[in-house]
Amino acid sequence: MSENQSGVKNVRREIAMVAGPKDWGDTRESWLGRVPRKVKTVSFRTVKALWYGEISDPEHWAARDIRREAELIQARQEAAELASQYQQIAGGMRATDTDFYRTEIDRLERIARIIGGLDRT
């Protein structure tokens, strides 16, 4: 696979991440149309050109903007998974001995809220 093809493949993966999962009623056009709603700096035509390889430069400004949004989406997903793990650990500690682990449980739940974006203080 050439460097150009791998660049287009990476951009497609990032576009897919930003567009989200296809619904049963989505056409490819409607699915790609979600990207400009999430990345205000790109147009539908630019997204389509990136998807079909008409713009093949992975460092094109639109590709960089889409990549930035995809990285944010991925970071949010990872943070949500980590918050869930902390909640599970706190739940296990609560089931074992709430009184003994009270401060650790409180700390884990607070961290989970912060990481999960539920508490901005």
**pLDDT band per the 50, 70, 90 thresholds, residue 5:** low
pLDDT, averaged across the chain: 89
Q: Which pLDDT does position 39 carry in this prediction?
A: 96
State the Cα–Cα distance between residues 10 and 22, nearest whole angstrom: 18
Phi-psi group of 79: left, alpha or beta (phi > 0 → left; psi -120 to 50 → alpha; rest → beta): alpha
Q: Are 5 and 28 in contact, with CB atoms under 8 Å apart?
A: no
pTM for the whole thing?
0.77
Q: Could you tell me where the DSSP H helices lie in 1-121?
A: 3-19, 28-32, 34-38, 44-51, 61-97, 102-115
> What are the tens digits of pLDDT across the range 51-98?
999 998 989 999 999 999 999 999 999 999 999 999 999 999 989 888
